[in-house]
């Protein structure tokens, strides 16, 4: 059995690709059963910076093709759109990748705190859909353990910088002080809440909050001394603010070019300029907005300068975190080999027992009727022969065999042969 990862991330794919292959929570639940029919157990990890499918397979190449085709079909995309950007990683490299992801080492913002919960949620969603078995369950639990150790034993998450905080820092870098600025925050979920807290810490006192569910924006506004506004009044509110930060999980644009254009016809109090920071994937703001006069539009990929600064600050802790990841990789490898050898030993012993029974029955047909005591002796003798023959191979497979040797033994004894998925 092989571990397989197929997906895209912020290192391999631009935002316009990442957003079209992303899965919302609802889409993930809908997609998993179909994916399971194609490749067996699977987990989908989809965040603002990555969409990755983890699976186990006897034939990784065939399974990777099934996954790529399914993702394209689910989203109604041509393969030409996604294939040039796909990562296909197998075995230890795939395990190491997931451990680094869970530890915050593969994030755009090194050490960001949200990813560990997202890895845990991805496993929970797959489990709820009955699409994950013991191998991937063990893999993801080991990844979560690695991420937790990194956060407990290093300072990589000290004063963590989330995507939302990075967006606010980018706004400060573009505008200078945010004190006295009027800000509209669109989205009152986890990302929106983090952005609101960061805005408050940056001196913003005039904060308007819009969310599709008004009660959520009202609760956040009350907590942070902001003002809740109805979602359908966003276009009117645009005329009153200097800055917009949008962080929703909406599947379509929240701000269209036409809506922003209309808002700019009225003065917004900052010399007619409007700064928009779109932190969502898929994007909340129609890209054509960037072509409007007196508008500056930034998206999540514009955080690269903040990410580089953050990496410099955390480089020493990142090295310590990498050491923890390597340690946990060793633990997982031993568990994985044990899992594989145990199942193979059971299959090998079952095969030997089937042969013993078959040959004993053939022999009994050739012999005259034997007394019960003689039958018991013959039964015990054949069992003893099988056990003695199996003892040394069993001990070697259980305690000494490498993955390569296990694969060779599986082929030698004809174990686990099945059609390629």
Residues designated catalytic: 48
CA nearest to 305, candidates 161, 116, 127, 420: 161
Structural contact between residues 114 and 162, judged by C-beta atoms closer than 8 angstroms? yes
What whole-number distance in Å separates Cα of residue 329 and Cα of residue 331? 5
CA nearest to 247, candidates 314, 171, 313, 159: 171
- Neighbouring C-beta atoms of residue 115, cutoff 10 Å: 25
Cβ-in-10-Å burial (0-12, 13-18, 19+) of 358 comes to exposed
Tally the C-alpha atoms within 13 A of residue 213's C-alpha that lie toward its C-beta: 9
What whole-number distance in Å separates Cα of residue 139 and Cα of residue 327? 14
The residue assigned the tokens 């056990």 is 387
Question: CA 213 → CA 190, 219, 229, distances in Å?
Answer: 14, 10, 10
What whole-number distance in Å separates Cα of residue 88 and Cα of residue 18? 16
What whole-number distance in Å separates Cα of residue 261 and Cα of residue 239? 10
What whole-number distance in Å separates Cα of residue 21 and Cα of residue 2? 24
Structural contact between residues 42 and 102, judged by C-beta atoms closer than 8 angstroms? no
Name beta bridge partners: 2: 57
3-state class of 49 per DSSP? coil
As given in the structure block, the two tokens for residue 321 are: 């975190």
What whole-number distance in Å separates Cα of residue 79 and Cα of residue 73? 9
Pairing relationship of beta strands 50-57 and 2-9 according to DSSP bridges: antiparallel
DSSP tally for the chain: helices H, then strands E: 15, 10
Question: CA 287 → CA 15, 166, 239, 292, 299, distances in Å?
Answer: 11, 20, 19, 10, 9
What whole-number distance in Å separates Cα of residue 5 and Cα of residue 52? 7
What whole-number distance in Å separates Cα of residue 15 and Cα of residue 6? 17
What whole-number distance in Å separates Cα of residue 254 and Cα of residue 277? 13
């Amino acid at each position: 059995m092989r571990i397989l990862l197929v997906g895209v991330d912020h290192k391999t794919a631009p935002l316009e690709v990442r957003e079209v292959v992303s899965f919302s929570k609802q889409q993930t639940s809908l997609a998993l059963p179909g994916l399971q029919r194609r490749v067996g157990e699977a987990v989908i990890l989809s965040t603002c910076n990555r969409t990755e499918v983890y699976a186990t397979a006897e034939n990784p190449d065939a399974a990777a093709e099934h996954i790529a085709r399914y993702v394209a079909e689910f989203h109604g995309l041509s393969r030409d759109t996604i294939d040039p950007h796909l990562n296909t990683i197998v075995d230890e490299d795939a395990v190491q990748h997931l451990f680094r992801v869970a530890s915050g080492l593969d994030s755009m913002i090194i050490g960001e705190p949200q990813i560990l919960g997202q890895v845990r949620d991805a496993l929970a969603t797959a489990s709820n859909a009955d699409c994950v078995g013991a191998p991937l369950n063990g893999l993801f639990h080991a990844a979560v353990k690695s991420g937790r150790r990194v956060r407990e034993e290093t300072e990589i998450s000290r004063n963590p910088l989330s995507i939302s905080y990075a967006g606010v820092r980018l706004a400060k870098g573009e505008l200078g002080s945010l004190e006295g600025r009027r800000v509209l925050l669109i989205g009152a979920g986890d990302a929106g809440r983090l952005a609101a807290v960061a805005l408050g810490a940056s001196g913003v006192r005039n904060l308007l909050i819009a969310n599709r569910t008004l009660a959520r924006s009202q609760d956040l506004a009350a907590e942070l001394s902001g003002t809740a506004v109805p979602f359908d009044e966003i276009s009117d509110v645009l005329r009153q603010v200097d800055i917009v930060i949008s962080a929703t999980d909406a599947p379509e644009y929240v701000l269209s070019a036409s809506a922003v254009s209309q808002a700019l016809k009225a003065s917004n109090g900052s010399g007619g300029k409007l700064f928009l920071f779109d932190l969502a994937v898929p994007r909340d703001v129609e890209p054509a907005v960037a072509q409007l006069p007196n508008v500056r539009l930034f998206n999540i990929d514009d955080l690269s300068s903040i990410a580089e600064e953050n990496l410099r600050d955390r480089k020493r802790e990142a090295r310590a975190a990498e050491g923890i990841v390597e340690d946990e990789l060793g633990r997982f490898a031993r568990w994985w080999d044990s899992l594989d050898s145990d199942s193979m030993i059971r299959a090998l012993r079952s095969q030997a027992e089937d042969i013993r029974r078959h040959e004993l029955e053939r022999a009994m047909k050739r012999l005259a009727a034997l007394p019960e005591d003689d039958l018991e002796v013959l039964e015990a003798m054949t069992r003893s022969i099988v056990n003695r023959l199996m003892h040394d191979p069993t001990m070697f497979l259980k305690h000494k065999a490498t993955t390569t040797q296990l694969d060779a033994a599986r082929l030698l004894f004809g174990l686990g042969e099945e059609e390629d998925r």
